[in-house]
Amino acid sequence: MKKLPKKKTMNRADATGIKYFIVHACVEIVCFYLLRYHYPVILSGIIALTFDFFAFLPQGIIGDFIIRHKNIPYETIGNVLMLISVFLVWSSLKPVHVTGYIVLAIGNAILHECGAISTVADSKGRLFPSSLFVSGGSFGVVIGQTLGINGLPPYFLIIPLVISEICCLSSRKSLRADSYPVFDCVNKKIPLGIILLAAFIVTTVRSYIGYAIPISWNKEIWQSFFLFFTMGFGKALGGLLADTIGVRKTAWIGTLVAVPFLLFGDKLMVVSCIGVFFFSMTMSITFAMCLSVLKKNPGMAFGITTAALFLGLLPVFFVRFDNMVNAVLITAFSLLSFFLLYFTLKKPVKE
């Protein structure tokens, strides 16, 4: 008898990426539902800033702690904190709402770090699993906002949290790996501190551009879905391209090709989304730069990029620029990102 061909099975790296894509989407559904649930526009800015502070800034510290103390059930702690926050935010007592958002943010930060460390541990040196994990957030953000604005009962949030817990527990061994693959995409002649600073600046620019680009066309729910889905696909594709054509070429595409589309897409949805798509591709590049320096600590490497994300969104809360100023800033920052990546990323070896 002829032997039947073996069925192709998904490799562990991509399986972990998919699981944490789902976790990330579920986490953001809960977070952005709750951020949109209670407050008017003016107060929601204060709530959002408080949430972002506790969600983004502590991640490097949390990630370092996870790597140093592997026996604690971090995944469950993160999901339980988020569940507790649902009841605090849902409470009729307004004084406890801010506490609820802080608890929510810390749970968010823990689960982000679980995803970053797990996907790197299983990656075998590929960026796609981590970029796939990160891209899940873009899908969760818009779904959570939509559900929160339309007043769906909060108790439904138990569903995404249960799904998140199941996916996390199925990858618990990945989070507790003893070693990590080596990433080597930076110019070794440049001091390590300069590499980290360059990655930090480029990530800050990506965050700023994501919030600052003029998009007057974004008026309907389906348009918000399209924008965030485009952003998510860009992040995932950036990792895939980096693994196939190289980090350096992907960085150039993400920074230079995006500029004209970002500048001239104010009233044209497709044009604007193409720009967002290309610039989102740089997410995996900056993470890879940090991983190339902090080889034994992917938790801290990811935390550096999330701290930069927080810095990049700060101007949105305090400053408003007109379209002309925004255009100048977007162009200047994009070119700055290109030159930083050009000089800090390692050149491919010629055959």
What pTM value is reported for the model? 0.90
Q: How far, in Å, CA of 196 to CA of 173, rounded?
A: 29
Model confidence at 319, in pLDDT bands (50, 70, 90)? confident
The residue whose two tokens read 């562990």 is 12
CB 118 within 8 A of CB 2: no
Residue indicated by tokens 């918000």:
224
Give strand ranges (E) for the chain: none
- Return the residue matching tokens 């299983």: 122
9 residue type, one letter: T
Closest CA to 298 of 307, 314, 287, 306: 287
**Res 351: pLDDT:** 39
- pLDDT value of position 275: 84
> CA-CA distance, 244 to 250, in Å (whole number)?
9
- Helix ranges (DSSP H) in 38-96: 41-56, 59-68, 74-90
Listed residue (287, 262, 276) closest to 232, CA to CA: 276
Q: Give phi and psi for 186, each to the nearest 5.
A: -115, 160
Instruction: Flag the least confident range among 22-26, 53-57, 153-157, 262-266.
Output: 262-266
- Tokens 């590929």 belong to 126
Task: Give the model confidence (pLDDT) of 8-20 as tens digits.
Answer: 556 888 999 999 9
Q: Hey, how many other C-beta atoms are within 10 angstroms of the C-beta on 224?
A: 16
Hey, what are 316's tokens? 């949105």
Which whole number is the average pLDDT over 157-165? 96
pLDDT band at 287 (very low <50, low <70, confident <90, very high): very high
Tell me what the mean pLDDT of segment 99-114 comes to.
96
Residue 46's pLDDT is 84
Name residues whose C-beta falls within 8 Å of residue 189's C-beta, 6 or more positions apart in sequence: none
Q: Half-sphere exposure (CA, 13 Å, Cβ side) for 212? A: 29
List, in sequence order, every residue forming a beta bridge with 186; answer none if it has no partner: 345
- % the chain with pLDDT above 70: 90
CATH value of 14-182 in 1.20.120, 2.60.120, 2.60.40, 1.20.1250: 1.20.1250
Statement: residue 7 has pLDDT above 50: no
Query: What are residue 345's DSSP bridge partners?
Result: 186
Least confident of 195-199, 211-215, 323-327: 211-215
- Distances from the Cα of 221 to the Cα of 25, 152, 224, 228, 321, angstroms: 18, 16, 5, 11, 25
| Torsion 9-15-18-19 (CA) sign | positive
300, 60 Cβ separation under 8 angstroms: yes
